Amino acid sequence: MFKTTTAATFALAIALPGAVLAEMDANGDGAVTMSEFQDAYPDAEAGTFSAVDTNADGALSEEEIAAAIDAGKLPERES
């Protein structure tokens, strides 16, 4: 039972950031812009996008979103 639960949890953790990215990425270009981020997180503080955008390219990647969720900078979104 433990192995099944652990495997399922691990699979979800891997899939979650991609699912979050797809949900937030309104134009489907593989990155989340500031306006897409604001639509997804309207109550986020002003500096949150910049804090999550660790490479400062003006868009959030799947990796940046995953790291922000893991670090508690972003809450996990409910579907």
Cα 15 from Cα 33, distance rounded (Å): 21
Summarised one tens digit per residue, pLDDT across range 33-48 is 999 999 999 998 989 9
Q: Is residue 52 part of a domain?
A: yes
Distance between CA atoms of residues 2 and 78, nearest Å: 25
CA distance 49 to 38: 9
Q: List the domain range (segments joined by +) for residue 21.
A: 16-71
The better pLDDT of the pair 33, 19 is held by 33
**Residue 5 resides in a domain:** no
Residue 11 lies in a domain: no
pTM above 0.75, yes or no: no
**79 inside domain:** no
Q: What is the CATH number of the domain that holds 56?
A: 1.10.238.10
Does 77 map to a domain? no
**What total number of domains does the chain contain?**
1
